[in-house]
Structures are given as C-alpha cells and as structure tokens.
Amino acid sequence: MEKKIILKDLKDTIELGKSLALKCSGKEIFAVSGPLGSGKTSLVQGISLGLGIKAKVNSPTFNIIKVYPVDNHNTIKELVHIDAYRLKSSEELLSLGVEEFFLANDNLVYIEWPEKIKDIIPRRAKNIKIDYYKKNTERIISF
Ligand SMILES: Nc1ncnc2c1ncn2[C@@H]1O[C@H](COP(=O)(O)OP(=O)(O)O)[C@@H](O)[C@H]1O
Ligand SMILES: [Mg+2]
C-alpha cells in the first residue's frame, strides 16, 4: 500500500467511494480491512451512490452476501457486498456460491473483513485499509 488519504468526515468517505466507483468497469474486487466503525460500510455506500444504486446499502449482517443490481451502467451489472465478520471459515462463503461472483466480468465485489477469508480472495483483489485517525470523525485510508 502506497497511497494514504485523510478523510476528514463521513462526507469525505462517501465522496471517495463515489469517485472509486467511477473508475471501475467491472471485475473489480476490493478487500477492505479496518476496525469496527472505521467506515468500511460507509465507503461502499459511497460506491453504491457512484454506481447509481437507489437502495440503501447496509451491513449485510444476516446475509453475509448482498447483491445490488446496477441499472444504468455500461459494464457493471451488480454490486456484491460481502461482510465476512461472522464467518468461521472460508468454506462457509464458498458454500454460499461466492466463486461465481469472483468469476463474473460484470460486477464489483466489495469485501469487509477480508482477513477472515484470506485463502479464497483472488490475487487481483485491491487491498484497502481504513483506520481511525486523530480527530473523532477523521479516518486514514491506505491503498
Ligand atoms: N470520516 C469518516 N468516514 C466514515 N465514517 C465515519 C467518519 N467519521 C465518522 N464516521 C462514522 O463512523 C461510523 C462508520 O460506520 P461503518 O461505515 O458502518 O463502519 P464499519 O463498516 O467499518 O464497521 C458511522 O457511524 C459514520 O457516521
Ligand atoms: Mg461494516
């Protein structure tokens, strides 16, 4: 990881998510680590806005995987949000059919708590780390 950005507040995080989305064309995988409350879900909310998704993206606590259709994009047809926090093993995620999402060309896959499923995350995944920073609402993000 080389690039670091300070996010002053939630708005900065959302805006960064939006601009990340605009650089995507499909087949991206983001592996986003960081402590509870650091802003991983907020970042994917920004990405969803950037993709024009109307539904509110929340933590997929009960579902582990949530798929959001993308209607108005040339190459991305869905956002796949994975929250591995509650998983005990990678096999659990495999049994939910995650490989299909890793193989597709027309989606953007966003993974929270990737360290829980290290062994099955494709090499091409882009690693991102979010952490708390000096002030209450400040975060530091590394790419
Ligand atoms: N700069 C910031 N970026 C992201 N979230 C922030 C920021 N400052 C404060 N927050 C707050 O921190 C919380 C982050 O929650 P969330 O995105 O669900 O974290 P995580 O998914 O990492 O557990 C939200 O309540 C949000 O309003
Ligand atoms: Mg979260």
Supply the pTM of this predicted model. Answer: 0.97
Return the ligand number nearest the Cα of 84. 2
Lowest mean pLDDT among 10-14, 61-65, 66-70, 96-100: 61-65
Residue 39 Cβ inside 6 Å of ligand 1? The answer reads yes
Percent of the chain with pLDDT over 90: 93
In the numeric block, which tokens belong to residue 105?
A: 């060309």
Give the whole-angstrom CA distance, residue 9 versus residue 138: 6
Return the ligand number nearest the Cα of 37. 1
Among protein residues, the one whose CA lies closest to atom 1 of ligand 1 = 9
Question: What's the CATH code, domain 4-142?
Answer: 3.40.50.300
Calculate the average pLDDT of the chain.
96
Tens digits of per-residue pLDDT, 15-38?
A: 999 999 999 999 999 999 999 999
Q: Are 87 and 64 in contact (CB under 8 A)?
A: yes
Give the whole-angstrom CA distance, residue 31 versus residue 121: 8
Return residues with CB closer than 5 A to ligand 2 (ion): 40-41, 59, 112
pLDDT(44) > 80: yes
Residue 41 Cβ inside 6 Å of ligand 1? The answer reads yes
Q: Are 20 and 102 in contact (CB under 8 A)?
A: no
What pLDDT sits at residue 61?
Answer: 65
Distances (CA, A) of 94 to 32, 111, 119: 19, 14, 11
DSSP structure class, residue 114: G
Confidence label for 42 from pLDDT (cuts 50, 70 and 90): very high
Q: Are 17 and 43 in contact (CB under 8 A)?
A: yes
Atom number, ligand 1, closest to the C-alpha of residue 7:
1
DSSP structure class, residue 48: H
Please list, in sequence order, all residues whose beta carbon lies within 8 angstroms of the beta carbon of residue 87, skipping any fewer than 6 positions away.
Answer: 64, 93, 113, 116, 117
pLDDT(104) > 90: yes
What pLDDT sits at residue 131?
Answer: 98
